[in-house]
Amino acid sequence: MISLNVNRKIYQVDADPNMPLLWVIRDIIGLTGTKFGCGVAQCGACVVHLNGEAVRSCVTKVSRAEGQQVTTIEGLSADNNHPAQVAWNEENVPQCGYCHSGQIMSAAVLLRENPDPSDEDIDAAMAGNICRCGTYQRIRKAIHLASEIQKKGGAK
Ligand code: FES
Ligand code: FES
């Protein structure tokens, strides 16, 4: 059994220690907001936070997360009110939506580390998150809006 803290809740999971964290999150715990895109650390659809840092859960062994704090899109905020979530909603960012859990989880780390990112900062920080629908302009706009919301003391 592996003990996992996901979104501040403890789960005892019966999984091979080498199983990707993504598999455990989706298929064993049942939190399906985090997506499988490429499985080889190339797209960013599977980004979650491990102790507050963005990791690609498709290539992170579940054993690495044992006893650590895992946060998925479902646990990013109490009421979908993280500044990035609010901004994504305001700007109607998603098209098909598939990539956006990962986009938002990456954006949340960017906004914590750089509360007022320039376009260049955003492009650099988000380069690992691919969107097949090409929503990059709206992602950029939403991150600027999230930065404003955060400055005004938005949730989290
Ligand atoms: S599914 Fe993990 S990076 Fe693509
Ligand atoms: S909105 Fe479709 S992949 Fe990004």
| DSSP for the chain, written as a single string | -EEEEETTEEEEE---TTSBHHHIIIIII---SS--S-SSSSS-TTEEEETTEEEETTSSBHHHHTTSEEE-GGGSSSSS-SHHHHHHHHTT--SS-TTHHHHHHHHHHHHHH-SS--HHHHHHHHTT---TT--HHHHHHHHHHHHHHHHTT---
| Backbone phi, psi, residue 9, to 5° | -125, 140
Domain stop point among 74, 98, 113: 74
Q: Which ligand is nearest to the CA of 48?
A: 1
Over pLDDT 70: what percentage of the chain?
98
From 135, 136, 139, give the residue whose CB has the most ligand 2 atoms within 8 Å, as the site to mutate: 135
Range of the domain at 11: 2-74
Q: Is the pLDDT of residue 156 over 50?
A: no
Angle at 151 between CA 146 and CA 156, to 5 degrees: 70
The CATH number assigned to the domain holding 121 equals: 1.10.150.120
Answer whether residue 155 shows pLDDT above 80.
no
pLDDT score recorded for residue 76: 98
Whole-number mean pLDDT of the chain? 97
| Shortest-distance Cα residue to atom 4 of ligand 2 | 131
Ligand nearest to the CA of 22: 1
Please determine, for residue 66, whether its predicted confidence score (pLDDT) is greater than 90: yes
The Å distance, Cα 93 to ligand 2 centre, comes to 9
67 lines ligand 2 (CB under 6 A): no
Q: For residues 138, 50, 19 and 133, what is the CA-based torsion angle, rounded to 10 degrees?
A: 0
Number of residues assigned to the chain: 156
104 shares its domain with 142 = yes
Give residue 111 CA to ligand 2 midpoint distance, Å. Answer: 21
Does residue 156 fall inside a structural domain? no
Does residue 68 share a domain with residue 90? Answer: no
Average pLDDT of 39-68? Answer: 98
The verdict on the CB of residue 35 being under 6 Å from ligand 1 is no
Tell me what the mean pLDDT of segment 73-79 comes to.
96
